[in-house]
Structure 1
Amino acid sequence: MEKQQKYTIIAKATPSGQGSIGVIRISGDKAIDVIKYILKLKYLKPRYASYLPFFYKNKIIDKGIALWFPKPNSFTGEDILELQCHGNSILLDLLINDILNISGIRIASPGEFSKRAFLNKKFDLTQAEAISDIISANSKSAIFSAMNLMNGKFSFLLKKLTKIIINLRVQLESFLEFDYKIKFSIFFKEILKKIEKLLIFLTSIIKYVEDGIRIKEGIKIILIGPPNSGKSSLMNLITNKNISIVTNIPGTTRDILHENIYINSVPIEIIDTAGIRDTSNQIEILGIKKTFEKIKSSNYLFLVIEDQMSKKNLNKIIKKYLKNFIKNIPIIIIRNKIDITNNIPEIIYDNNNKYTVIKISIKKKKGISILMDFIKKKIININTNEDQFTARERYLNSLKSIYKYLIIGKNNFLNTNSIEFLSEDFKLIQKELDSITGKFYSEDLLNNIFSQFCVGK
């Protein structure tokens, strides 16, 4: 990487195509040579917008704004020159190709400006990823959550976690060196107590990250239930589109149907699935299998049944089909067709079974406002808050690995009383934690992350 950074890099910082403004970004030691070559000046006033002619082979090709950011006070930590000219792709390409005639300058790789900023310690790896999240954000909440990640809300939690772990490591190492100063039984209880507190704190961070992934990817609500219970009709009603085919024939829906909608600026993916029932139809069986695969990646499960169904039969469905998902995914039971049972639209919180029951009639459009209000207040609101930050699966995987190391370390400590083994576990925890922020990283990890950025970022 050090060899690569000897090169000065150049790229368009604006999308290809015609526009009012086109921006060219140059970062590295040769940026000063571009000032001399393109602007015919020896130097520019730092952090000052200068309106100047741009030269192409000694002829003025355009006039625009030049911005000069000498190192280390720049985005990448290197010398940066930005040229803002008219947004004609031919004009931009002519200028870039002419600048490439200067020895030591090459086209930037995707995300290389951000990668250099990270390597020059302008921000940690999570904050670098926030840049990509802001660019790709598909809702207002996602934009603000990405800014929270960039502003270091997650980094703050990780620093706090790191501080606790380092203090524990110091305490363990100190006891190994000076064990005569404190009784082991007292030390043993103190360490276990701190590990328990650490597990609680870590659990809260994992919850934050899981919520952050939901914001980045959108909330997924899956509709399941027996055939003809009203899943497809509910899908059409919520999305206000005729997406699902509605008939009285069991097994009409055999494939997974998706539709993305926005409620209160939050992206929600509604997923309609094949009716769950015992069947010998091979195509229908395949659709039901896909349903259960899809449940695993969903955030909320709407079990749509007919209001006539008894609690006994409802419990049979849950035990037969959903017992593996109950602990991980909230189940909301939608009792449809209250126009047949003459029941009123209502919402019932079943605290004993931890289910929410909503009674509606899709046909008569009764109780729909109750359902939509539930989605807004109990699903959207609890998944969005001002302190939330966007997150990635790699954060979650590392934090879960740390949790696993802690549990294993705690159990081994209880069984063996070995401080040496526990100390080794904490070294692994520290290494895993450092991989999130990029304090410890592999070149493959960096390439994988920054290759997903656009070229000029």
Structure 2
Amino acid sequence: MSIFALATAPGTSGLAVIRVSGKEAFKAAKTLTKFKKIKPRVANFSSFYDHKNQIIDKGIFIFFPKPNSYTGDDVVEFHIHGSNAVIKYFLKTLSSFKNCRLAKPGEFTKIALLNKKINLLQAESLIDLINSETELQRTHALKVMNEDTTKFYNSLRDEMIKILSDYEAVIDFSDDEVGDNVFLNNRDKLLKINNKIKDIILKGENSEKIREGFKVSIVGPTNSGKSSLINCLANRQVSIVSNIPGTTRDLIETSILLNGKLVRFFDTAGFRNSKNIIEKEGISLTNKNLKDSDLKLIIFDHTKKIDKKILKFYDQKSILVLNKIDIKKSNKFLEDKIYKPIRISAKKNIGVANLVKTISKKIDDHFKVNEDNIISRQRHRKSLENTMFFIEKCLNKKTIDQIDLAAEDLRLAVRNLGEIVGYVNV
């Protein structure tokens, strides 16, 4: 079955690209263009015709014969005008071809993966690149997608397979003296591989935060100005603001870019004793969000007494904010040297720039990002940790009579490492 889809973003534009992949791609190109001969990898200007011989549009098409295409199958790309009417009718015409259907989300990449044009690590990185919003996300996705990263993982795996083959040779052709030498010589190699994997994990600290964004929770008592602050940070109305305590009852999120990093701010339900079931649920969500957050903005109304119970949430990954400084009346905050509060007026946008600067510095101080990081997902980290676990189990087998058990541990280590790029067995 051949597949087709709009390859560019939907909506009105000067240009749209429709991609067709599969056995019917070449036939579709000849039928739609009426070209008798089509040169591969050449941009051809043509009119495009429907089955009634009516012109759909004029544009360019390029034919990529297999296996030298993105998917590894025959691929044709039609470059047409980005009119909604043109796109809709072009797709309708393609759907009338036998054995030709609309592609599912990500199906072109799935076929490329199955045809071994890319590996699993590169497929994931491609998705990250397409979804990247910051320069940091873009460069990180490209680094992980780079062929050198795949080669690095594969070289570690190949080294381990070589050691495994040595172990299995000793098991099959037993010789105590040779076996002892193989066992001892390969221990040093395994230790070096284990150290390399440990280094990858250390360099990959905070890698998921690059992709998902840094989570910042705005917490405090009711009517302290949390919703006003998130609206001010987003430069638009994200959250409803009122003088009624308990207005915010659910988590409200907005994202902004700070020094090339994606930062996700969460407006939370204000802490107070409430009998309202919905508000209680909101406060419960706030507590859960606090556990998952990377940074807390603990905000108080500077005209009111500080709630000591809420102040207990303060730690190294917190910033204390005193809001409503545009109102003259205030309670003196005695612990300035300990908490170093940032004084703002979210309503009047006073001191907010200083707060943003402090947030950015706090993120940089606590969440270092290594340029040599080649981890982008939790599954990569887990696979590496499992690989280390089984290598260390293998290294704990210190005598030749345990070599069969050591070989099994090493086989499991190889399998876990291979999962990163998509190998399923040894």
Normalised to the residue count of structure 2, the TM-score between the two structures is 0.74
1:23-54 CA deviation, whole Å, 9 max, x = no partner? Answer: 33222233332343222223222222111232
Matched residues, number: 407
Please report how far the alpha carbon of residue 221 of structure 1 lies from its aligned counterpart in structure 2 after TM superposition: 0.9
- Correspondence for 2:132 among 118, 122, 137: 137
Q: What one-letter code is carried by the residue in structure 2 that aligns with 1:42?
A: K
- Alignment of 1:159 onto 2:141: no
Matched with 1:201 is: 199
1:383-430 residue CA offsets vs partner (Å, 9 max, x unmatched) = 667666783xxx413532541463366358538864333332332333
| Whole-angstrom CA distance in 2 between matches of 1:92 and 1:236 | 38
Give the RMSD, CA atoms, in angstroms: 4.4
TM superposition shift of 1:376: 2.6
1:81 and 2:67 correspond = no
Change in CA separation of 1:259 and 1:153 when aligned onto 2, cut-off 3 Å: farther
CA distance in 2, matches of 1:303, 1:128: 40
1:48 and 2:30 are equivalent in the alignment: no
CA contact (8 A) 1:19 1:86 kept: yes
Question: Could you say if the C-alpha distance between residues 232 and 40 of structure 1 is closer, same or farther in structure 2, counting changes exceeding 3 Å?
Answer: closer
405, 409, 412: which one aligns with 1:421: 405
State which drifts further: 12-21 or 64-73: 12-21
Cross-structure match for 2:423: 439
Q: One-letter code of the match for 2:413?
A: I
Match of 1:373 among 357, 377, 381: 357
Residues 165 and 90 (structure 1), Cα distance of their counterparts in 2 relative to 1, 3 Å cut: same
Q: What is the CA distance between 1:431 and its match in structure 2?
A: 2.5
Report deviation, 1:80: 1.7
* Structure 2 partner of 1:266: 261
Deviation at 1:57, TM superposition (A): 3.5
The counterpart of 1:223, out of the listed 218, 227, 234, is 218
Contact residue 134 and residue 147 of structure 1 kept, 8 A: yes
Q: Does 1:180 align with 2:177?
A: yes
When residues 146 and 187 of structure 1 are mapped into structure 2, their CA distance, relative to the original with a 3 A threshold, is closer
Q: Deviations over 1:313-355 (max 9, x none)?
A: 799935xxx9xxx8xxx62342648975478988x8xxxxxxx
Once residues 289 and 145 of structure 2 are traced to their aligned partners in structure 1, the CA distance between those partners, rounded to angstroms, is 31
Is this contact kept in 1: 2:204–2:374, CA < 8 A? Answer: no
Q: Is the 8 A contact 2:320 2:340 kept in 1?
A: yes
Q: Unmatched 5+ residue regions in structure 2?
A: 303-307
**Partner residue, 2:294:** 299
SS in 1 for 2:39: coil
SS in 2 for 1:122: coil
TM-score by length of 1: 0.70
- CA deviation string 1:38-83 (max 9, x = no partner): 2222322222211123233363513321212222222122222222
| CA positional deviation for 1:220 | 0.9
Are positions 1:110 and 2:109 aligned together? no
Q: Retained in 1: the 8 A contact 2:216–2:265?
A: yes
The structure with higher relative contact order (CA 8 Å, sep 6+) is 1
Cα gap change, 1:57 to 1:303, in 2 (>3 Å): closer
TM-superposed CA distance for 1:203, in Å, is: 2.1
Per the alignment, do residues 107 and 285 of structure 1 end up closer, same or farther by CA in structure 2, a change over 3 Å counting?
Answer: closer
Structure 2 residue corresponding to 1:332, chosen from 313, 318, 326: 318
Q: Which stretch of structure 1 is more off in the superposition, 49-58 or 92-101?
A: 92-101
Structure 2 distance, partners of 1:273, 1:94, is 46
| Counterparts of 2:84 and 2:269, CA distance in 1 | 49
Gaps spanning 5+ residues in structure 1: where? 1-6, 308-312, 349-356, 442-457
Equivalent residue for 1:287? 282
Q: What is the percent sequence identity of the aligned residues?
A: 30
Distance 1:130 1:66 in 2: 28
Change over 3 Å in CA distance of 1:93–1:334 after alignment to 2: closer
Q: Summarize the Cα distance change of 1:192–1:93 in structure 2 as closer, same or farther, 3 Å threshold.
A: closer
Correspondence for 1:430 among 411, 414, 418? 414
Q: Secondary structure at the match of 2:343?
A: coil
Moved more, 23-32 or 121-130: 23-32
Contact 2:394 2:410 in 1 (8 A): no
